[in-house]
Structure 1
Amino acid sequence: MSAVASSPIPPVLDHLRDQPDAAEHELRGLLARLAEVPDPRKARGLRHGLVYVLALAACAVLTGATSLTLTPRPPA
């Protein structure tokens, strides 16, 4: 018996593939869109740009993350 795929990425890609063609001006990169989000953080102590933090969070959600905390796996 094969395992059921738990990754949400294939269904998301299928959904995107089924969308009607967008006009060229509507196709913007993820980083360009995320760069439009205003950064509410204070400049003191910043190490990473907000656009990259948001991009990593988006990637984490696509791979199944549901929270910001890391839950350790039990030993095998």
Structure 2
Amino acid sequence: MTWKVFGGKHSDLYLALLKARCAGDGLPDTEEALSQVLTVHLHRGIGYLAGRDDLATISGLVGLAMAQQPAPTG
């Protein structure tokens, strides 16, 4: 999967955030370091979600995602 497919229309923003994280952690913004920072971020998020009892089902996960959606504006 390409970065543009993964990040969609916000891929440039996500890349800038990953580069900022690398800089904050004292890492170079090489492809390897960016990949490692993204992998750690994804694992942390998956671990957080996996540890929640209220997300034992797909409907629980969808309910959480829907609750996080901003209200549509007129």
TM-score in terms of structure 1 length: 0.30
Q: Report 1 or 2 for greater relative contact order, CA contacts < 8 Å, sequence distance ≥ 6.
A: 1
Which structure is larger by alpha-carbon Rg, 1 or 2? 1
